[in-house]
């Protein structure tokens, strides 16, 4: 099986430039994503349920909602 370098070497110079541009794009995208700090703007959104459920029960309920069925831990 050929390595990525070998495969790129077989391409035209135009295609190699396109790959280089794409790599630069991916690096920039990752750098932007890593710079973002979490906002935690969701914190407290379930506070009206605190008298109905414990935090552990809420975790189980969220897991149920995510998988669409009762989740047994």
* pLDDT, tens digit, 9 for 90 and up, residues 49-66: 778 888 888 888 888 888
What pLDDT is attached to residue 34?
A: 76
Range scoring the smallest mean pLDDT among 3-7, 35-39, 55-59, 69-73 = 69-73
Q: Whole-model pTM?
A: 0.45
Do residues 50 and 23 both lie within one domain? no
Residue 51, SS3 per DSSP = coil
Number of domains composing the chain: 2
What pLDDT is attached to residue 69?
A: 61
Do residues 24 and 48 both lie within one domain? no
Average pLDDT, the chain: 85
Q: Which two tokens stand for residue 46?
A: 């379930």
What pLDDT is attached to residue 14?
A: 97
* Domain limits for position 72: 40-73
Do residues 21 and 47 both lie within one domain? no
Query: Using an 8 Å Cβ cutoff, are 32 and 24 in contact?
Result: no
């Amino acid at each position: 099986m050929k390595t990525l370098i070998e495969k790129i070497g077989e391409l035209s110079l135009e295609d190699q430039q396109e790959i280089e541009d794409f790599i630069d794009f991916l690096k920039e995208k990752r750098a932007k994503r890593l710079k973002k700090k979490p906002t935690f703007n969701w914190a407290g959104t379930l506070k009206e349920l605190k008298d109905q459920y414990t935090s552990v029960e809420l975790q189980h309920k969220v897991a149920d909602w995510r998988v669409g069925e009762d989740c047994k831990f």
